[in-house]
Structure formats: structure tokens, C-alpha cells
Chains A and B, each alone.
Chain A
Amino acid sequence: MNPKNNLLVGAIIAVVVVTSYDVGVEPIAFFEGLPNLGIVAKEMTEFESEHWGTAFWAMLETIEMAFVGTIIGVLISLPLSIFAARNISSKFVYAPLRALLAATRTFPSILWAILFVIVVGLGPFAGILAITLYTVGFISKLQYESIEAIDYDPVEATNAIGLSKLQLIRYVIIPESAPHLLSQILYMFDYNVRQTSILGIVGAGGIGFYIINYIKFFEYGKAAVFMLVVLIAVLAIDWASVKIRDRYIMKAEHGRQLKVSN
């Protein structure tokens, strides 16, 4: 190691120490508190089996919310991403739109959920709105980036034929930018299920409502049931999306025929 690197490592350690002190990191409190974790863990293993049913339905509601939010969000994103693409739209359209989309991504969906609970009241609808809004911000960005990266040859060739702009978008831009869309939607759904699981904390529906309440009243055995269901569901969705990806996306990339299930 040369002295320059030593200096850099030393500086990083110094910054970590100073900022830790600043935000109140107390290692001693962590070790003193460890036995508490033992108590929680012990209580958590005492599952209360009559809650499995409730947990299942609450998880189903969570997945439904994530699904609806993802699909509506994607449907809104598709036209928006075209207006936000620099190679298609004028500066006066894409610049403000991009700023707006960036703003929706600034806050995690749980903050949007608080806002929508104020607007439409407690319940799953507020959660769906929050998930939709976040999906719009995210998928639009991924989509306009893939539109900006499309192959220019077909655009040039079809321009020479004399297509209208709408036809160009429909027959060249959308198909050329679509291959990544399925993969992006899967990723987004996966992410949204996890997000929706905690939206219940602010009263926006889903399984998080039960988890936060049981934890508040120290009923760790009940909370554990719901947390385990979330864990299983997220793992299952993760596994399923890997399967879907392998089946449709890998095949498409290897030039084999895309299979469409009927």
C-alpha cells in the first residue's frame, strides 16, 4: 500500500467515527440490549396458529394492491415515457415532465401513502394510489431511457418512407423499446409487494397494519405469523419472477421463438 491510500483509509475511518458520534451510535447499548432480542425471538417462536388464516388473507390483499398499483402505474408510464424521451419530444414537453417524474421518485411510497390516506381516507385504496404513483415515476424513467437507447437505423429507414410521427412511435419506437419492459414490470411488482407490506403501518391497507399493531402491543407471537407469511410470499414471488424471466426473456434474447401462453 502506498502512503496515499493509507491517508485515504485513515480519512474514511475518521469520518465514520465523527459522524457515528454525531448521530449517537452507542455500541454499548447494543450489547446491553442483546438479551431483549432473545426475549423477542423466544416469544416469536410461540406462533399463535389461529392467525394463519387472517395472515393469508391480509397477504393476498397486499399482493392484490401491489398488482393493481403496478399495472395501472405501467399503463400510465407508457405514454408518459414517450413524452419524456429526448429523441422524440420537444424540450418544452420532456423537461418539465422529467422534473415531475423525478419528484415522484424522491419520496418512498410510504410517504405518498400518508398523503393519500389524508386524501381518500384509511384503507387499501390509499395504498394503491401510492404504489401507482411510485411505479409511474420509476417505470417511466426506465422506459424513456430505453427509448433513448433504441437502434436508430429503423427510425431513419422508416422516415424515408414518410411515416407520421404517431406511426413511427407505434411501429418502430414501441416495439424496439419493449423487450426490457417485461423484465422491468416483474422487478417493479416484486419491489411493490415488499413496499405494500409496510404501507399498513400508516393505515393504507395490507398486511403491515397487523404487524405494526401486534408489535405495538408486544404480541410478538402474533406478529411473527404475519412476518413469516410476508417472507414466504416475497420468496415465492421472487422465485416465480425468475422462472418467468427465464422462460420469456432469456429465450427472446437468445433468438428463439417467444412463446405466448394461451
Chain B
Amino acid sequence: MENEEKNSASISTLSIIQMRDVSASYDSKNSILKNISMNVHRGTNYAIVGASGSGKSTLLKLMNGMMIPSNGIVLYNYQKPDVKNKSYKKSMAKIGYIPQTLGLVKNSTVMDNVMIGALPRIDGVKSFFKIFPKKEIEYAHDILKLVGLDEKSDRKVHMLSGGEKRRVAIARALMQKPHVLLADEIVSELDSVTAREVMDVIKDAQQKLNLTSIMIHHDMNLALEYANRVAVIKEGEKVLEIGVEGEQIIDFQTGNLTQQEILEMYSESQK
């Protein structure tokens, strides 16, 4: 596994996720995404912004193989993502995916939920009896400290607050030792203070663990604040892709813009 990480570091200048002319649909008539092309470079904090129903979630599901494109090509680490393909399982373990519903096991403890992230690395029989290597338990505590939940590791998840539940989901994803973190509107339902706390946890983890992240946001302000690249999806099409460096915004289509102008453009695309 350590070799694998070295390998990925040696090609860190290249894209980790590539999409070329990708379309996707749930039935044959209505396509949810139309001709999307994007490259996500290693180490990028990529944000996808769009109104509800614009196809953002589908975009993430294409990246981790929960959905297969109807047209075009998706590559993760030069492989086609497909959850149903057994030879892809190893790569799946390296994609931290946090769905909008979080997908936590509510009647289990925080620790048990976090350990789920480590299961692909652990022998099936041992994991059935909850026998974990000491190294993994220590790592879980490290991750829980990182997200600020270590003292609540024995709590049941259903007793936690909304912000804490999100931290558990982040911890479970980080426990996978992922190369990429995919998160679907992880802070949309939180108030702006808690939302920023959760985003700071992710930012902190990204820096410490050298992660690439692709996050879906509802709020353009949050996206501009935390991401260094933002794509706007409208009705299944990518209408804008911009780079962010501090206050400076570089639009790859129309030249340099100010944050204000982007926010105005975005609010128009919402209508």
C-alpha cells in the first residue's frame, strides 16, 4: 500500500479524474448531463456549483462508478469507474465518497462508523469479530482528533448534532486513506457558522493528508472561499469553469473577473 502511495505521488502532476464529452441519463430519453468535459488535477480543491436538479450529484456518482456514462469517457487514475466491476474494488477503497444523506449507520457508535472506512484493508473473518490491528485503531483515533470527535468515539451516531454527523462522515472517508474525497452538498443543510466549521475541518485534513477534493456546493460563496477551482453546472451543462487564487479569479473562458461579477453571473444562471 505504501508503494501504491509513492506511485501516485510520482505522477502527481497529472489529472486524477478526467471526463471527456460525458453524458448521463437515468432513462434513454432525458439526459441529466450533456457533453461535460473536465480535468481534476491532483491536489486541487474542486468545487461544483449549481441549482438543485442540475445534475451535480450525478457528476459525482460518475466519478466513483455508482453510475456509468451513457456517452463519453470517465477515468479515475486511468481506470473506468464501475462499482459493479470486481477488479475495480481496490480503487473504490481509495475514493472517499460522502453522499448527501451521509449514509451513516445510525445505531452504531462513531468509532464503528469510522472503522467501516478501514474494512477493505482488513481480513474478512477478523473484521467480523471486530478485531482490528492496533495500527488501525490508532489511526482512527488520529482521524477523530483531526475532525474533533475523539472524546465522542463511543457515542451512537443518532445522538449527534448535524455538524457532528458530518464530521463522522468525513472521518469515515478519511479512514479509507483516500486519494480523492468526493462530497455531495455536505454543508448545505447547516447554518453558515457550522458550515464553515465543517469546511475548515475538511480544509485542515486536505492539507495534512495531501488530498484532492471534489465537493458539490449549493452556495457559490462557500465554493469561492474554499476551492481553488469552481465549475458551474446548469441544466446538465458546464456553463463556467474558473480558477480562484485568493481574491483573484481567473476565468478560463472570458478572461479575468472579480468575485462580484462571478457572483452576479452565478445568480443569473440560477434563474
Pairwise interchain contact A176-B107, C-beta atoms closer than 8 A: yes
Pairwise interchain contact B116-A163, C-beta atoms closer than 8 A: yes
Query: Assuming the A-B contacts A156-B99, A158-B116, A160-B64, are A170 and B128 also in contact, with contact meaning beta carbons closer than 8 angstroms in the complex?
Result: yes
Pairwise interchain contact A161-B128, C-beta atoms closer than 8 A: no
Pairwise interchain contact A154-B158, C-beta atoms closer than 8 A: no
Name the B residues within 8 Å of A166 (CB-CB). 124, 128
Pairwise interchain contact A158-B127, C-beta atoms closer than 8 A: no
* Between-chain CB contacts (< 8 Å), 13 pairs: A151-B106, A155-B103, A157-B97, A160-B95, A160-B97, A161-B119, A163-B116, A170-B127, A175-B105, A175-B108, A175-B112, A176-B106, A176-B107
Interface centre among B83, B105, B176 (most CB of A within 10 A): B105
Interface size class of B (residues with CB under 8 A): 20 to 34
Stretch at the interface among A56-64, A197-205, A250-258: A250-258
Interface residues of A (CB under 8 A from B): 151, 153-164, 166-167, 170-172, 175-176, 178-179, 255-258
Stretch at the interface among B16-24, B35-43, B85-93, B219-227: B85-93
Pairwise interchain contact B107-A163, C-beta atoms closer than 8 A: no
Pairwise interchain contact B159-A163, C-beta atoms closer than 8 A: no
Q: Bound complex: CA of A153 vs CA of B156, how far in Å? A: 17
Pairwise interchain contact B159-A171, C-beta atoms closer than 8 A: no
Query: Assuming the A-B contacts A163-B119, A170-B127, are A156 and B103 also in contact, with contact meaning beta carbons closer than 8 angstroms in the complex?
Result: yes
Name the A residues within 8 Å of B141 (CB-CB). none
Pairwise interchain contact A172-B105, C-beta atoms closer than 8 A: yes
Pairwise interchain contact A167-B128, C-beta atoms closer than 8 A: yes
Name the A residues within 8 Å of B176 (CB-CB). 161
B243 within 8 A of A: no
Q: Bound complex: CA of A206 vs CA of B64, how far in Å? A: 60
Pairwise interchain contact B83-A159, C-beta atoms closer than 8 A: yes
Pairwise interchain contact A161-B107, C-beta atoms closer than 8 A: no
Pairwise interchain contact A157-B103, C-beta atoms closer than 8 A: yes
> Interface 1/0s, chain B 146-185, versus A by CB < 8 A?
0000000001101100000000000000001000000000
Pairwise interchain contact B127-A161, C-beta atoms closer than 8 A: no
State how many angstroms separate the Cβ of A56 from the closest Cβ of chain B. Answer: 40
B72 within 8 A of A: no
B209 within 8 A of A: no
Pairwise interchain contact A162-B92, C-beta atoms closer than 8 A: yes
B101 within 8 A of A: yes
Query: Assuming the A-B contacts A161-B92, A166-B128, A167-B119, are A256 and B159 also in contact, with contact meaning beta carbons closer than 8 angstroms in the complex?
Result: yes
Q: Bound complex: CA of A158 vs CA of B98, how far in Å? A: 10
State how many angstroms separate the Cβ of A119 from the closest Cβ of chain B. Answer: 34
Pairwise interchain contact A161-B120, C-beta atoms closer than 8 A: yes
Name the A residues within 8 Å of B159 (CB-CB). 255-257
B199 within 8 A of A: no
